[in-house]
Amino acid sequence: MFSLRYQLGRQANGVIRAGRAGPLRSLFSFGRKENEDLGEHLKIVPLADSPHEKLRSIGDKLTTVYGDRASTCEKCGFIIPSCPSDSSCTDRVNFNLDNQYLLSDGKKPILAAPQYMRQGERACIVDWESYLVSRSFPAASNPRTKRILSRVFTFPLSIAKALEDLYLKDEKKYDYIMRERTDPIVVSVVGARAEGLLPLIVWRELAYCFPDNRFEVVVSGPDVRKDLHGTSVQEERDKLVRVHYFHGNFEDMREEIETSLSPDLYAVFNSGIGHNDEIYTGWKHAMACMLGSGKPTLLTCFDEQDLKDDQAGIERLCIEEMSDKSLEYVVGPSKNIFGSCFGDVSVDKLGVRMIFSNSHRMICESSSK
């Protein structure tokens, strides 16, 4: 898979210094002009012939999978047996061109850092375009801007939308989300992978979606950097968001984490718990801890099929590990309006599949029978 980790991996040493501009420069730029390159000149290049190693490697994998059964599609540059003129080909075209843009040299105004908001202002979380405009991103109406920025901001925006939807679902029960409170809202992101590499400037958007609140974001999982375990970072300017890091399995660290950071919402991004028995086994103890807590849990998936599989995995978990609990879908399985619009490529023995981080979602909560 062509992962977000490629874009963010070089910033790993900058996470704990995220309050400063310097370490973020290869992810976001500062003070760039909107009339710089937006990639309109880019043309489709066959993946196998790409000047970029990351794209060539995908071409090589496709050649290995398909062999003589495939040829290069002139429209998208992918090596596949057939390429119908439908949305899947369009997604592959965007993948080819957007990655050329990201991997090329030169200034990229799309990656201009989001600005601070004035006190009392709130980011609009109706849809991606409204959000980008409300946050004054350069070239906010450009489709490439939405695709590329959604790849990063899908994580805090999916959480923000979940919090808003919980409140709209039951204002009395979830009143704590919208009212001004002296203590911060605590969001626990479990099993973090790419989202564990996000700089603080990205998580800061939570506070701009809910300007009357402060946030504590707990990022935990085996893929969180070991040297960050037990550390936290808070931006010096406004102190609206603090991010805490824990390396290891959530079920083993839960008591350590939640003694001082009891969550208002759990978030699990693209777990794949229903994909196969191996992934289910790896997740079942952590997932049972979260779902059994009685706190709402946001679960996201790559696509509609992934959603159906994960829903089956969760219901299997309830039977096998939580027989004393009743599961409720507070927000039912559905499309996530703040899912990533930037497709990633998954290549396996069955071929190529375009996937979109956090494309679909559900919010679950349990209660005693």
What digits encode the pLDDT tens for the residues 312-367?
A: 999 999 999 988 888 999 999 999 999 999 999 988 776 788 999 999 999 999 88
- At 116, which amino acid appears? Y
**Distance between CA atoms of 287 and 291, rounded to whole angstroms?**
6
244, two tokens:
């805490």
Task: Note whether 241 and 234 are within 8 A (CB).
Answer: yes
- SS3 for 155-181 is HHHHHHHHHHHHHHHCCCCCHHHHCCC
Q: Is residue 350 packed enough to be buried (19+ CB in 10 Å), middle (13-18) or exposed (0-12)?
A: exposed
**Distance between CA atoms of 189 and 187, rounded to whole angstroms?**
6
pLDDT tens-digit series, residues 13-62: 222 222 222 233 345 554 444 445 788 889 999 999 999 999 999 999 98
Q: Is residue 32 packed enough to be buried (19+ CB in 10 Å), middle (13-18) or exposed (0-12)?
A: middle
**Distance between CA atoms of 7 and 229, rounded to whole angstroms?**
22
302, two tokens:
């790559």
Domains of the chain from N-terminus onward = 143-368 (3.40.50)
131 — phi, psi (to 5°)?
-65, -50
pLDDT mean by block of 10 residues, the chain; 369 residues? 31 27 40 60 93 94 85 90 77 95 81 77 94 89 92 97 94 82 93 93 93 94 95 87 96 94 96 95 95 95 95 94 89 97 85 91 89
96, two tokens:
């080819």
Q: Looking up tokens 């973020």, which residue turns up? A: 24
Q: Running DSSP on this structure, what letter comes out for residue 86?
A: S
**Distance between CA atoms of 162 and 189, rounded to whole angstroms?**
13
Is this model's pTM higher than 0.85 or not? yes
